[in-house]
Amino acid sequence: MAIKVIVIDDEPAAIDVLKYYIAMTPSLQLLATFSDSREAIQYCMQQEIDLILSDIEMPSLTGMEIAAFSKGKTAIIFTTAYTHYAVDAFNLNVVDYLVKPIRYERFQQAIQKLQEQNNPQDADHFFVKTGMKGHLEKINIADIIQIEGAKNYVTIYHGNVKTLTLLNLKDLESRLACRDFCRIQKSSIVSIKHITGLKGGAVVLSNGNLVPIGPTYKEQVISLINSKLIN
């Protein structure tokens, strides 16, 4: 299951950045955003939430007060422009402390840290049902090159094999470490280590597939590739 997230920040621009990062991270599901922290607390009392991304200095309740209210029941990552709250924040056992402006790579590290805390011995494989009755197929996560979604089906490209199974992308998101996979378009997730190049607005994968980059994900993908570029 995906990690259910809410965002609390009194600055609309900061909320927009986090919404964009969440949309690019397959393991996250955004439930709601709030500029009023009191409204956020009311929402938390009525909904199941896995993670709160919260600013610290806000007009009503501060991020510290939100963390104290949570009492460790909900994971919290602080997103703030100030560094001097860091010691107090970690005394409240928050997952991480992100200082604005937040880079996507740093955001990914925080989510990975949460995943490792939740699944300290996370499996390196899973099984899926195939079209044959009673038949299951083992998928090694390290072998996955691409996952392509179409309604309630996904096609998993792993090694030299292509497996079709009755699932959707959301069903697989929590199985994939966010630092190892990247959403290229709404219906496609690829393994970062299997990206071998960029050609005509598409990424080239190690199996020869060309996957067009969706407009929403273009900045992330180009940034990822440029970070490895030698001029």
Q: Report the CATH number that the domain containing residue 63 is assigned in CATH.
A: 3.40.50.2300
Residues 42 and 112 placed together within one structural domain of the fold: yes
Residue where one domain finishes, among candidates 118, 148, 172: 118
105 lies in a domain?
A: yes
Query: 106 with 82: CB under 8 angstroms?
Result: no
- Looking at the structure of the chain, the number of domains it has is 2
Helices (H) and strands (E) in the chain, counts: 7, 15
Query: Residue 92 has which token pair?
Result: 């409240």
As a whole number, the mean pLDDT across the chain is: 87
β-pairing, 75-80 vs 51-54, is parallel
Nearest residue to 124 (alpha-carbon basis) of 109, 150, 143: 143
Q: What is the pLDDT of residues 145-179, one digit of tens each?
A: 999 998 888 999 998 899 999 887 876 765 676 66
Structural domain boundaries, residue 222: 125-226
Other beta carbons within 10 angstroms of residue 114's beta carbon come to 21
SS3 percent helix, strand, coil of the chain, rounded to 5, is 30, 35, 35
pLDDT tens digits in sequence order for the chain, 231 residues long = 689 999 999 999 999 999 999 998 888 999 999 999 999 999 999 999 999 999 999 998 999 999 988 887 899 999 999 999 988 887 888 999 999 999 998 998 899 888 877 765 556 778 888 877 767 888 888 899 999 998 888 999 998 899 999 887 876 765 676 668 888 998 999 998 899 988 888 999 999 999 999 998 888 788 777 776 665
Q: Which residue has the tokens 């409204």?
A: 39
231: in domain: no
Say if pTM beats, i.e. exceeds, 0.75: no
Same domain, 221 and 145: yes
State which H helix or E strand residue 37 sits in.
helix 37-46
